[in-house]
Amino acid sequence: MSRAVVALGVLGLLLLTAPVNAKDIPQEITTLLAQEQYSAAVAPLTAFLEDDKKNHEGWTLLGDAYYHLGHDNDARTAYEAALKLKKKYCPAVHGHIRVLIRLEDYAEADKRVRKAIKDTKKEEQIQAMFYHDLGLMQLSLGRRDTTNIDEAMLDSADINFYIAIGQAPDSCQFRLDLGEINFARKRYPMAISSYEDVLACNAEMCGAVHYRIARAYLYQREFAAAVGAYQKSAECKPSAMVYSDLGDALILYSRSLPLDDTAKILSLYNQAIASYTEAKKYTSDGCRLYEKVGKAEALMGQLEAAAEDFKAAIECGSRDPDVFFALGNVLVDLTRFDEALSWYDRYEGMREETLDAEPWDKPDADFFANYAMAARVKADSMPDGAWAELPLSSRSMYGTLLTM
């Protein structure tokens, strides 16, 4: 199988197997898919299929677009529509197997992939893709429980990846997944070595490869090396995920340094904020990024900016109690006690809701201490009778604190 075909996945398989008399897929669509603009490809693909409902290639490519967007049930529906029209159409079979694995429908995936291997025994290059799919399924099963890795299942995945590589030695993706097996087994130096082999195989995969190398360094607590690898990944293929993870790695790196290395720590925090800010350019959902920026700003003493970012996170839908708690703390440091109390009250409400369903693992001791400070200042500054106007939760909390 050619390197180009492996890189294109389902679209590459379609190019290998498309019948001569099939209605051409519009170039606009194939160009969007080749450029990985999957969201933009959905509308023209849907319109194309409204005009030609029996086009198995179109349904396959729609499944591929949905798969890459993470819309797994839609992808499954599209692939199955293609297979109803042509049940042994390899690109649809391949895409269907992948989405079944992601949906953890392993029984159906196993049945489909073993049949595909049998059906393609005379087409070694295509069969290699299905051996790879079988290995991916076994890899997913083997590491499903991260606390109890199934070594026997990973051994089977290893074997099937090597079979796939033997049939398609130019496939860099197959070699990449060998690294994933070593990573799952916590053999991080071996994983890094496997990933580096992929760079020699196909430099165009540098974004995905450096990202995996960074992840392996991170698990070895080699934070400086992880930061360098994330930066290379961002240079090759920038994305919200890469920049966000780079910011996280910079924060972890800063925490590994001696406390007296102030200049270096501040520099790393500033780089982390810049990285999180860059991540916002690549996503329409920046709630989590506002949280991360706020926490970094709070640690650097940029309190006004931190308060604004925490509020932005909450306004765009964050329900993480830590954000409400952190905002209250920042407002206490800014001596804005009225505001702090209102956010602490919301935090306490979330705490009480959570206690009804599961253990609460948030910092109660710090919460009570900060709440006490804010409530005491507020009570001391209130005219007679105004205390009764406070929310009941505030009054009962303060009364409890005074007796502690």
What pLDDT digit, counting tens, does each position of 63-117 carry? 999 999 999 999 999 999 999 999 999 999 999 999 999 999 999 999 999 999 9
| DSSP 8-class letter at 383 | P
In single-letter form, the type of residue at position 340 comes to A
Tokens read off for 294: 């706020």
- How many angstroms separate the CA atoms of 378 and 183, rounded? 54
CB 62 within 8 A of CB 50: no
Would you tell me how many other CB atoms lie within 10 Å of the CB of residue 44?
A: 15
Give the position of tokens 């790393």.
268
Q: Which pLDDT does position 237 carry in this prediction?
A: 93
Q: Identify the band that residue 396 occupies on the pLDDT scale cut at 50, 70 and 90.
A: very low
- How many angstroms separate the CA atoms of 280 and 291, rounded? 12
Each residue of 145-168: pLDDT tens digit? Answer: 878 889 999 999 999 999 998 998
The verdict on pTM exceeding 0.85 is no
What element of type H or E holds 11? helix 10-17
CB 59 within 8 A of CB 25: no
Instruction: Give the closest residue to 53 by CA, choosing from 64, 66, 62.
Output: 62
Q: Report angle CA 102, 105, 109 to the nearest 5 degrees.
A: 90
CB 310 within 8 A of CB 287: no
